[in-house]
C-alpha cells in the first residue's frame, strides 16, 4: 500500500492532538504507534474499522477508536473505515445482517414492515435483536478478516514490486558501468 496515498487523506497526528474535543483523551494520542503506516497497523485498522462498521450500536466510531488505541493500530484509518455505514448504507447492511442472523439461528423472519421510529424499534427489538446482533457480528468478522487479508496481500505485492524495480535499476547501473571501461565504479 502506498503510504503517500494514505497520508494524503488521513489527518496528521498534530492536527488530531490539537483538536479541542479530543483534549480529555490527548494523553493516549501521543503514542506514536497509532499514527504509523505499516503493514500490521494498516491491516489491523482495516479489521477494526470494518468490524465496528457492522456493529448495530450507536457511537461505532468511539468503539473503533478505543480498539485501535488498545491494539496500537492506525487510529485515523480505523475510525475512517467505520464511516462506510451512513444513512444510505445502514439499511441494506443491517437488513442483510438480520437475514443472515435469522438464517444462522434458524429463526423465521418475523418483520413484515419497517418504520423508522423509536416506538417501532422498541416494540420489535425482542424479535430482531438476537438475529441482528448475530448476523452483524458474523458480517463484521468476515468483512474485517477479508479486509485484513486483502491489505496484507496488497502490501506484500507492493513491496515485492518495489524490490524488483530496485533490483532492475541496480542491474542496469552495473551494466552501464561494465559497458564503459574507463568509468569510475564509485559513480552512480
Q: What average pLDDT score do residues 25-31 get?
A: 61
Q: Model's pTM, two decimal places?
A: 0.74
> Does residue 111 form part of some domain?
yes
Domain containing 141 equals 3-179
Q: How far apart are CA 133 and CA 126, in angstroms?
A: 11
Q: Which residues contact 35 (CB under 8 A, 6 or more apart)?
A: 13, 74, 75, 76
| Cβ neighbourhood burial of 78 (10 Å; 0-12, 13-18, 19+) | buried
**Is the CB of residue 188 less than 8 Å from the CB of residue 173?**
yes
Over residues 112-155, the pLDDT tens digits come to 666 667 777 777 777 788 888 999 999 999 999 999 999 999 99
- Count of domains in the chain? 1
Q: What is the pLDDT of residue 101?
A: 92
Q: What average pLDDT score do residues 67-94 get?
A: 89
C-alpha cell of 187? Answer: 559513480
**How confident is the prediction for the chain on average, in pLDDT?**
82
> Does residue 44 form part of some domain?
yes
C-alpha cell of 114? Answer: 419497517
Q: How many CB atoms lie within 10 A of CB 127?
A: 15
Amino acid at each position: 500500500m502506498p503510504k503517500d496515498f494514505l497520508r494524503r487523506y488521513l489527518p496528521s497526528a498534530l492536527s488530531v492532538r490539537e483538536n479541542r474535543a479530543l483534549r480529555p483523551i490527548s494523553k493516549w494520542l501521543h503514542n506514536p504507534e497509532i499514527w504509523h503506516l505499516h503493514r500490521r497497523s494498516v491491516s489491523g485498522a482495516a479489521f477494526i474499522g470494518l468490524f465496528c462498521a457492522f456493529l448495530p450500536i450507536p457511537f461505532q466510531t468511539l468503539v473503533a477508536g478505543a480498539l485501535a488505541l488498545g491494539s496500537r493500530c492506525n487510529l485515523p484509518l480505523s475510525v475512517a473505515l467505520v464511516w462506510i455505514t451512513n444513512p444510505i448504507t445502514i439499511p441494506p447492511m443491517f437488513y442483510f445482517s438480520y437475514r443472515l442472523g435469522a438464517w444462522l439461528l434458524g429463526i423465521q423472519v418475523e418483520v413484515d414492515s419497517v418504520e423508522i421510529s423509536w416506538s417501532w424499534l422498541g416494540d420489535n427489538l425482542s424479535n430482531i435483536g438476537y438475529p441482528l446482533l448475530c448476523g452483524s457480528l458474523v458480517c463484521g468478522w468476515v468483512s474485517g478478516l477479508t479486509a485484513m487479508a486483502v491489505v496484507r496481500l496488497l502490501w506484500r505485492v507492493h513491496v515485492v514490486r518495489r524490490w524488483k524495480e530496485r533490483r532492475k535499476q541496480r542491474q542496469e547501473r552495473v551494466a552501464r558501468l561494465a559497458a564503459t571501461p574507463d568509468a569510475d565504479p564509485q559513480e552512480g
